[in-house]
Amino acid sequence: MQQLEQSPGNAVAVEHFDVIVVGAGLSGIAAGYHLKTTCPQKSFVILEGRDVIGGTWDLFRYPGVRSDSDMHTLGYGFRPWTSRISIAAGPDILSYIRSTAQAEGIDRKIRFGQYVTDASWSSEDALWTISVNVGPDRAPMRYTCGFLFMCSGYYDYKSGYLPEWPEMSTYRGQLVHPQFWPEDLDYKGKRVVIIGSGATAMTLAPAMATDAAHVTMLQRSPTYVVARPAHDSIAERIQKRLRGRLGGTLVRWKNVLYGLFTYNLARKRPAMVKKTILRLASEHLGPDYDMTHFTPSYNPWDQRICLVPDADLFACIRSGAMDVVTDHIERFTETGLLLKSGKTLDADIIVTATGLKMQLMGGMRIAVDGTPMDLGKSLNYKGMMYSDVPNLASAFGYTNASWTLKCELIANHICRLLNYMDAKGYAICTPRRDLSLTEEPALNFTSGYVLRAEGILPKQGSRKPWKLYQNYFLDMASLRFGKVANPSMEFKRRKKQRVVA
């Protein structure tokens, strides 16, 4: 709809919506569904900077790309995952997201090629003004909205993390980052070195080993790796007996409970869980395998545990198609890598699976009443809003469970918040920090991508609603069933009425 904003001496025509969602990936489609079903009176649009639905699952095209969570929890609660395969391939996840958007009519709410650059809040008007670059020509455009919901993920789509190693320019082979995988990359019969020990490296290695002459996964330090069947037989039996949403809900809760149990057990009895993980890995790798390559120095869930479906990584190691080397890079050479131990690794292709570069709000600049906001200095409210920033929320998932579980709770709570404000006649909601709170790091995680982003991530507080628990039950109690209004949330009515044409 078109809105005319009245101001002294002029009127500026912009397109207005009650809610603007930024991002048409897994989180954005969930946000659209909950807005459509829970706030049907609200007008909304989803702005997507790229030209397609899917976000991460369209961006990543490397061999073997897959979920590192089961799809019964990574999938939507309102549209249960029904495939026999629980640990799904990237193209299947992308198809699921797109078919969900189409089935629910969310695709008709998306505007593609709209890259959001700035968001400016006016307390007088109770409005966000959103600046957007549209299409390949980056034509400027503006929107206004009463509430801004960011579903743009947490990392930079334009660049991945790439350390600077000595003499990289001397290498004569192909250097590839998984975030920007060349469609025509031919690795058949080639020697491949994958630098990294996270989920991406452990996905790439067995996928490439099928055709490569040999694959080496080079890691600075080991990661905990757990094998799990790609096919969930219990889920299949439940969904055969209870078709539709009920069966999907039961499977979802089964997996949520199992995940919470194993996570809490790991935090309470880390030595026992560590011993169990290493024993299970050793059973797959064989009694003669050097388990130092899979024995981290930290406790389980200090960093995310890697999940490998059907033990494919272990099977490739046992077959000899790949190996794991734990060492540090001294420098690049013309033919590969020289390691600090003095060992050399020759490679036709080096894949730098070295991680992501975290970025909040897709890099969007934010100002409140003309003052630029540094969200890295803010406190996170209920894991979704920011202290002293009105009418803005972002979808951010779990570090110890599926992303979508938290994102759907957030989307539902935003809808409850909007309906509460309508019922009370409020136009503005602003989380206000309690000065007695003790600040804590945003994430209690030692992964490299989290530590590198410590300065840009908002902090959490020492008690609720500023505390992040990484616990689905506690979040459900707070976000799904807890009160919307509390002393930390300031509500106000609009000072200035809008004229809608």
Q: What type of residue is 251?
A: V
Whether the Cβ atoms of residue 49 and residue 362 lie closer than 8 Å to each other: yes
- Tens-digit pLDDT profile for residues 442-452: 776 666 666 67
Residue ranges, CATH 3.50.50.60, the chain: 2-158+358-500, 168-352
Closest by CA to 132, choosing from 124, 144, 123, 140, is 140
Q: Which residues pair with 5 in a beta bridge?
A: 12
pLDDT higher than 50, residue 117: yes
Distance CA 43, CA 12 (A): 20
CATH match for 168-352 among 3.90.1150.10, 3.50.50.60, 3.20.20.140, 3.30.230.70: 3.50.50.60
What distance, in Å, lies between the first and last C-alpha atoms of the chain?
A: 8
Distance CA 86, CA 67 (A): 9
How many other C-beta atoms lie within 10 A of the C-beta of residue 88?
Answer: 23
Q: What is the CATH number of domain 2-158+358-500?
A: 3.50.50.60
Distance CA 321, CA 210 (A): 8
Model pLDDT, residue 469? 85
Percent of the chain with pLDDT over 70: 94
Q: What type of residue is 66?
A: R
pLDDT higher than 70, residue 169: yes
Lateral strand order in the sheet of 344-346: 329-332, 336-339, 344-346
- Tens-digit pLDDT profile for residues 191-213: 999 999 999 999 999 999 999 99
Average pLDDT of 435-446? 78
Q: What type of residue is 210?
A: T
Here the tokens at position 149 are 């919901």
- Tens-digit pLDDT profile for residues 312-341: 999 999 999 999 999 999 999 999 999 999
- The pTM score is 0.91
How many other C-beta atoms lie within 10 A of the C-beta of residue 328?
Answer: 12
Average pLDDT of 114-129? 96
Residue with tokens 């999940």: 307
Whether the Cβ atoms of residue 386 and residue 431 lie closer than 8 Å to each other: yes
CA angle (400, 380, 112) in 5-degree steps: 80
